[in-house]
Amino acid sequence: MRMIGQSPVFLETQQLIEKIANCDAPVLIEGETGTGKELVARAIHYGSCRQKYPFVPVNCGAIPDNLVENELFGHKRGAYTDAKSDNSGLITLAKQGTLFLDEIDTLTPKAQVTLLRFLQDQFYRPLGSSESQMADVRIVAASNADLTTLAEEGAFRLDLLFRLKIMYLKLPPLRERYSDIILLANYFLLACESRYGHGKKELHAETISWFDQYNWPGNIRELENLIYREYLLEEGQVISIKPPQCLNVERRSGSDRRLGNLTCMGFNEAKNRMIASFEKCYLAESLSVTHGNVTKAAKLAGKERRSFGKLLKKYGVDKNLFSNSAISDH
């Protein structure tokens, strides 16, 4: 899956990813669960000078504490009882490429020391070997926890954080990406059609309406799983999904979490922000329903095509991103 979106916060993130890809230094990616941290790590790798070499992902939480050195650096035959032959570690597998350390916050203090020692000079020694080796590997780490907070609490080594955080990227949650929600939903529908062959299906207008109001605690992964499930269960061509109960609570509260604390700003500023949020969402939903056809979207909105087009230009909404062909290209 390629990165998909056209919201301002997404475009800013994409520009930063391109800059980071060209800087051959360790990277730390933070973001909530389901925001696409591994996808971003791959984008950094394949946009860098290391793109022809391996991208090796590893879940740090799945490595037992007593096997960290063996997993990372490998071992020589006879290094321990069951070492019947030489074994290359992850560092060797990622030679000249990128080693992606996901859920790095789950590393134990002992494992953190092991990784820190390697990051200091990029030299390592396989278990059972008397010679050190140099590794030409880029480290990209990811965490859904705030490592700075963990370091302040003593749960993560501050010196390791400094080594990892040379380049830093914080991924925005889906609820802050506005019109990207519908764009991603349509992409997943096309992916379902291609994978399962149950025909073309689309979302009901009422479903589209609450999608942009929901908080999406599971972010992109939650949206993807929801679309896949409903696509497979729906026998017709129109998918109607009931909003979750928690959405009713959010509606009654009269606030949109994506807009921040409106009371911290003046009335006019808060009013303008609310209007801008509504207009962006409305434009995106109109284009989503009409698959990027501006004339039909303007008619649906009850506006002249020219004035509708001016609104698209004002908010930087790209009609091409909502066409079937544009989405399928991703």
Quick check: helix, strand or coil at residue 230? helix
Whether 142 and 252 map to the same domain: the answer is no
Whether 220 and 72 map to the same domain: the answer is no
| Strand residues in the chain grouped as ranges (E) | 27-30, 55-59, 98-102, 123-124, 133-134, 138-143, 167-170, 202-203, 238-239
Has residue 31 been placed in a domain?
Answer: yes
Whether 221 and 107 map to the same domain: the answer is no
Cα 105 from Cα 211, distance rounded (Å): 31
Has residue 24 been placed in a domain?
Answer: yes
- Of 155, 172, 189, the last residue of a domain is 172
pLDDT tier, 324 (very low <50, low <70, confident <90, very high otherwise)? low
Q: What is the per-residue pLDDT for 209? A: 86
Has residue 182 been placed in a domain?
Answer: yes
- Of 127, 142, 172, the last residue of a domain is 172
Has residue 3 been placed in a domain?
Answer: no
Phi, psi of 18 (to 5 degrees): -65, -40
| Helices then strands, each counted (H, E), the chain | 15, 9
Whether 96 and 187 map to the same domain: the answer is no
Q: Per residue in 127-156, pLDDT tens?
A: 776 677 888 999 999 999 999 999 999 999
Percentage of the residues of the chain whose pLDDT score is greater than 90: 48
Whether 68 and 157 map to the same domain: the answer is yes
First vs last C-alpha separation in the chain: 7
Q: What is the per-residue pLDDT for 274? A: 72
What CATH number is given to the structural domain containing 296? Answer: 1.10.8.60
Closest by CA position to 127, among listed 58, 67, 65:
67
Cα 40 from Cα 21, distance rounded (Å): 10
Whether 131 and 181 map to the same domain: the answer is no
Exposed/middle/buried for residue 156 (C-beta within 10 Å: 0-12, 13-18, 19+): buried
Has residue 267 been placed in a domain?
Answer: yes
pLDDT tier, 16 (very low <50, low <70, confident <90, very high otherwise)? very high
CA angle 110–116–119, rounded 5-degree value:
150
- The range of the structural domain enclosing residue 75 comes to 8-172
Whether 202 and 129 map to the same domain: the answer is no
Furthest C-alpha separation in the chain:
78
Percentage of the residues of the chain whose pLDDT score is greater than 70: 85
pLDDT tier, 97 (very low <50, low <70, confident <90, very high otherwise)? very high
Cα 86 from Cα 18, distance rounded (Å): 38
Cα 55 from Cα 143, distance rounded (Å): 18
Whether 268 and 226 map to the same domain: the answer is yes
Across residues 230-249, what is the average pLDDT?
84
Q: Please, are residues 121 and 76 in contact by the beta-carbon 8 Å criterion?
A: no
Q: What is the per-residue pLDDT for 1? A: 59
Whether 50 and 186 map to the same domain: the answer is no
Q: Print burial letters for 10-39: b (CB count within 10 Å at least 16), e (below 16).
A: beebeeebeebbeeeebbbbbbbebbbbee
Has residue 2 been placed in a domain?
Answer: no
Cα 125 from Cα 120, distance rounded (Å): 14
Q: Per residue in 165-196, pLDDT tens?
A: 999 999 999 999 877 999 999 999 999 999 99
Q: Per residue in 276-292, pLDDT tens?
A: 767 777 787 778 778 78
pTM comes to 0.75
Whether 153 and 238 map to the same domain: the answer is no
Whether 138 and 198 map to the same domain: the answer is no
What CATH number is given to the structural domain containing 27? Answer: 3.40.50.300
Whether 226 and 303 map to the same domain: the answer is yes
- Of 139, 172, 205, the last residue of a domain is 172
Q: Per residue in 247-276, pLDDT tens?
A: 654 544 445 555 555 556 677 776 777 777
Q: Where are the alpha helices (DSSP H) in 76-179?
A: 90-93, 109-121, 147-152, 158-164
Could you tell me the two tokens for 219?
């972010």
Q: Please, are residues 125 and 73 in contact by the beta-carbon 8 Å criterion?
A: yes
Could you tell me the two tokens for 53?
């070499």
Q: Please tell me the total count of domains within the chain.
A: 2
